[in-house]
Chain A
Amino acid sequence: MFSNRKFNLLVPLFSILLGFLVGAIIMVVFGYSPIDGYTALWNGAFGNAYYTGETLRQSIPLALTGLSIAFAFRSGLFNIGAEGQVFVGWLAAVWFGITFDLPAVIHLPLSILVAALAGALWAFVPGLLKATRGVHEVVVTIMMNYIALHVSNHIIRAYLLESGSRTYRINESASLRSEFLTDFFSGSQIHWGFIVAIIGAFIMWFILEKTTYGYELRAVGFNPHAARYAGMSVKKNIIMAMLIAGGFAGIAGAMEGLGTFGAMHTHAGFSNLGFDGIAVALLGANTAIGSVLAALLFGALKVGSLSMPPVAGVPSELVEIVIAIIIFFVASSYIIRWAVLRFKKEEK
């Protein structure tokens, strides 16, 4: 009675609901009002044009890192390295935006492309090691994260530093920001990146579902041995998958560099965009559309949580608990599956 498709939709929905429910219980236990808390969360995410803009802005890079991880996952790879790919993409986009002065129609797409290439290059290393030497990509990507963090910090300090801890601003022609959008969302930092994210989701869907390439990638993901037996090159597909996944994460970095900040600052630690992307992909059941929707939810939770302490007095950490519980239930979808199957049995 339950097709897999339906199940893929049900599990995340139940998980979200349970997440909010447990969040409410925790609020009650600690003497806060869940209604006030969630109202503040909602108003802080969609209450007016400004907050809606901020929510969208926060969702853009999350959607792209989500796509990155989902894409790799469909090919049987676990791309923990989105975090590092975000950093190199961000740096590459900002560097290209500062250094060159071109007409916007060329400059902007090229900046994004450069970021994608940088991210792809960063993902190429673990892809190559996995394909040729069988080194597990999780280990390599985690190491690449640290390399990206510290190398980008060094490059910013040594070559691109304007003042304090920030690079020069990118040229206007490479910027994704626009007066129109900023005014429309009453001064928020929203930028045209949401179109990039939607195009990204479309590209992922198209590659995976409509091309031979995508078919091979998915086949490798399902069963590499069977794929090899069927005459597909597992090595080539692993490298391809990592390249494309890295490209998505690199573009996520470009969104921060060309959109939100218009520059890059040195980071003391990780931005968490890549790590949150894992949760986004998981909640989105590793599909393109799912990742975009999950990114919207996470963006809303993150931006909305900023309003919870000042408006309702509820600590913003509570939202992190809600997010953690949602992820927990998605990850343990087995429990939900089991519960549903039990009901099914009883009915018989």
Chain B
Amino acid sequence: MKNKLMLIFAVLLSAILVLSACGTEDEEPAEETDDETTEETTDETEEEAPDFSVAMVTDEGGVDDRSFNQSAWEGIQAFGEEHGLERGEGYDYAQSDDAADYMPNLNGLIQQEYDLIFGIGFELMDSVEQVAESNPDTNFALVDDVIEADNVASVTFAEEQGSFLAGVAAALKTESDEVGFVGGITSPLIKRFEVGFVAGVKSVNPDIDVRVEYAETFSDEQMGRSFANSMYSDGIDVIYHASGAVGNGIFTEARNRIENNPDDPVWVIGVDRDQYDEGQQGDHNVALTSMVKRVDVAVQEVSEMAMSGEFPGGEHLILGLEDDAISIADTNDEAYTDEIHEEVSDWEEQILNGDIVVPETDEELEDFIDSL
């Protein structure tokens, strides 16, 4: 009896070994050919990128969140390909499933001796601050929040500029002269979205009403639906959201309304990335436009600087329209007409050449509206 059990045990063990062995055998030839093809390409570019590597740690959203983290990873991939780096050596990412993973992930990448390590999202602020202090020879960059340390570059975005243009588009599109804003959690960050949007709307027509609501969450879709339902029912026809997944509920509500009543158009303005796909209902699309935050551009830019030896350590970079890090999507050309496009470009010009300084706080907004 005992022997039989031992036999099963032995069979299982040997099965593992055999399987493992054939796994590696299968793998090797494939790897070799891979190496050959990439070697050719790297040979040419190697002089440009002799010795530089970059990696990132995601926040809880994960690398395939169709938003922030994914965008950052696309930036790193683009950077890696441009300079002929190899994934796993030249560039890589580490995924965090919860907040306890931030430190092990950061330290893991440090031990693999990456030259520049990104923390994506303000949630990583504490962890990046700690590892930056104990690893002064490694460069770090934090997106969406600010750390003051010589080996950390902080990157934030001028969301108010993009939101201003979203406000212009909303003001031009609305027929009821009522528009709405739905924010995620009350914070200085989301405030910038709100204030910029209101400023943009009022710049076009000071008589348009803007209703502002906060969901106090970034994840509750149902909340978004009920906000959108009440807003659209009260005659608001354009809603701009800066509320993560809450916005998905707003899109759902808008799509339902269009399906039930195609003659009474309602619109949503998306955020962070082009949310055109979220707005498709039959052959109609409720996504008027989106305020696009190019995290990928930011990540690429900081990587370029670091590679050329000009790492902006200790600095706080605010990327906006002029860096192409903030933009307004024009994918939905049926709703986002040429006239709107021209007008928005006009305002964009005025922001770029400094004629308009977009407010960021409530006080600045008051002054701004008074000056109109």
Contact = CB atoms under 8 A, between A and B. Distances in A.
Contacts of A27: 23
B231 to A, nearest CB: 24
Contacts of A256: 100
B20 interface: yes
B87 to A, nearest CB: 8
B51 interface: no
B344 to A, nearest CB: 32
A307 B4 CA distance: 37
A313 B1 contact: no
Contacts of A210: none
Nearest to A44: B108
B5 A33 contact: no
A35 B20 contact: yes
B351 interface: no
A265 B122 CA distance: 12
B107 A58 contact: no
Main secondary structure of the interface of B (DSSP, over half): helix
A34 interface: yes
A306 B108 contact: yes
A195 interface: no
Contacts of B19: 21, 24-25, 28, 34
A343 B1 contact: yes
Given A50-B111, A166-B126, A260 B23 contact: no
Interface residues of A, number: 48
Contacts, number: 105
A31 B12 contact: no
B246 to A, nearest CB: 12
A7 to B, nearest CB: 12
Contact of A33 (B12, B16, B24, B217): B24
Interface string A156-192: 0000000011100000000000000000000111000
| 7 smallest beta-carbon distances between A and B, as pairs | A34-B20, A35-B20, A33-B23, A28-B23, A33-B24, A33-B27, A34-B23
Interface of B: 1, 4-5, 9, 12-13, 15-16, 19-24, 26-27, 30, 55, 60, 88, 92-95, 98-101, 103-105, 107-109, 111-112, 122-123, 125-126, 134, 145, 187, 217-219
22 contacts: A10-B5, A17-B9, A21-B15, A21-B16, A28-B26, A31-B27, A34-B20, A34-B23, A51-B104, A54-B103, A164-B187, A187-B107, A187-B134, A303-B104, A306-B105, A306-B108, A309-B92, A309-B94, A310-B94, A310-B112, A311-B112, A343-B1
